[in-house]
Structure 1
Amino acid sequence: MTIRPILIHPDPRLKKLCEPVATVDADIRRLADDMLATMYDAPGVGLAAPQVGVMRRVFVMDCVKEKDAAPAPMVLINPEITWTSEDLNTYEEGCLSIPEQYAEVTRPAEVRMRWLGLDGQMHEEQFDGLWATCAQHELDHLNGKLFIDYLGPLKRQMITRKMEKLKRERARTAQA
């Protein structure tokens, strides 16, 4: 397993629609392993393939937060939402591609998703709470959408400027 570098906004790859995965092969399994390792290392609860520069419809998540609980890693390939609740939930979201920035985003409180698993089989599950928020956030990444796209233009612009500054600082540090 390799920990991959995470792209930081603004990066044009984070705004592109990802391609579906045709078959679950060794490359996709390696990508999933690397993404899980990268997510846990960050640390985060979700990570989408475009965040590591791979333009495929794959994301990973593990929303288990309790210290003594066993991890529950999930790999979702070609995920799609098949149902959303009318009830809404507002959650303070963050993103590994937008480090240290958080904002409240309102989304459906529950979603049902269908996806292809690493076993090559179709799976369907209903998510609520943080799992529902995370699944929707990561699916947005596969469609070229970031959580800041739900914010007003001023707040979005402010966060984007902070990320541009962070990228400049990191580039300077890397050269030193």
Structure 2
Amino acid sequence: MILPIVAYGAAVLRKVGADITPDYPRLEQLIADMWETMYASNGVGLAAPQINKDIRLFVMDSAQIFEHLEEEEKKQYSDAPGIKKVFINAHIKELNGHEWAYNEGCLSIPNIREDISRPAEVVLEYMDEQFQQHKETFTGLSARIILHEYDHIDGKLFIDYLKPLKKKMLQGKLTDISKGKTKVDYKMIFIK
């Protein structure tokens, strides 16, 4: 089932998500719905707060980006051809490598894209959908998406990395998003 995506301005987007246990109600269905919602919205990642759930859960599929890159472009990234994963109860253990900028957007903040600098590598402890524990290092575009979605489960948004002047320049657009005055081609809800 395609779920509505929570728009900028909703309190849930600023909450730190709670860890969950394997008996979380209808978890398997929730994950399936998140995949369906992400793909229907043309996203490459989706975090539970974006569907109004303040839990530490996100899905991501960086392979979609690589499908649309030329062969030469793919060689620029260490994580080609990308990955598709579910992350439950994720916690960052290390951030490594030089920071690099990439033009990011967010389904909860539609029609705004900005260059955001993030570390090249993240070491993450997380559980998969079978609640198997993992500690894994991610690089490239996969690390970028993971860090963006991880921010969501920590109550942060990509616009938090912008310089104050840039954020001030976007304030009108952000206000319009929070009031439902922005057109999108996916289901969105506007709550406080």
Structure 1-normalised TM-score?
0.87
* Matching of residue 139 in structure 1 with residue 154 in structure 2: no
Q: Distance in 1 between matches of 2:161 and 2:182?
A: 27
TM superposition outliers: structure 1 runs of 4+ over 6 Å? 68-71
Number of corresponding residues: 170
User: 1:66 aligns to what SS in structure 2?
Assistant: helix
Cα 1:18–1:114 shift into 2, 3 Å: same
Equivalent-residue separation in structure 2 for 1:125 and 1:13 (angstroms): 28
Instruction: Decide which of 115, 119, 136 is 1:125's aligned counterpart.
Output: 136
| SS of the residue 2:21 aligns to | coil
Matched residue, 1:22 = 21
* Structure 2 counterpart of 1:174: none
Distance in 1, Cα, partners of 2:25 & 2:52: 18
Letter in 1 for 2:128: G
Q: Report the equivalent of 1:109.
A: 120
TM-score by length of 2: 0.80
- In the superposition, relative to structure 1, how do residues 75 and 24 fare at CA in structure 2: closer, same or farther (>3 Å)? farther
Are 2:103 and 2:116, in contact at CA under 8 Å, matched by a contact in 1?
yes
Q: Is the 8 A contact 2:57 2:86 kept in 1?
A: yes
Contact map agreement 1:8 1:163 (CA 8 A) in 2 = no
Q: CA deviation at 1:157?
A: 3.3
Give, in whole Å, the separation in 2 of the partners of 1:160 and 1:48: 23
Deviations, residues 50-90 of structure 1 (Å, cap 9, x unaligned):
00001110000001123389984311000011222132221
Question: Runs of 5+ in structure 1 lacking a partner?
Answer: 172-176
How far residue 169 of structure 1 moved from its aligned partner, in angstroms, is 2.6
Residue among 137, 162, 166 paired with 1:155: 166
**Higher relative CO (CA 8 A, sep ≥ 6), structure 1 or 2?**
2
Any gaps of 5 or more consecutive residues in structure 2? 69-79, 184-192
Change (3 A) 1:24 1:103: farther
Q: RMSD of aligned C-alpha atoms?
A: 2.2
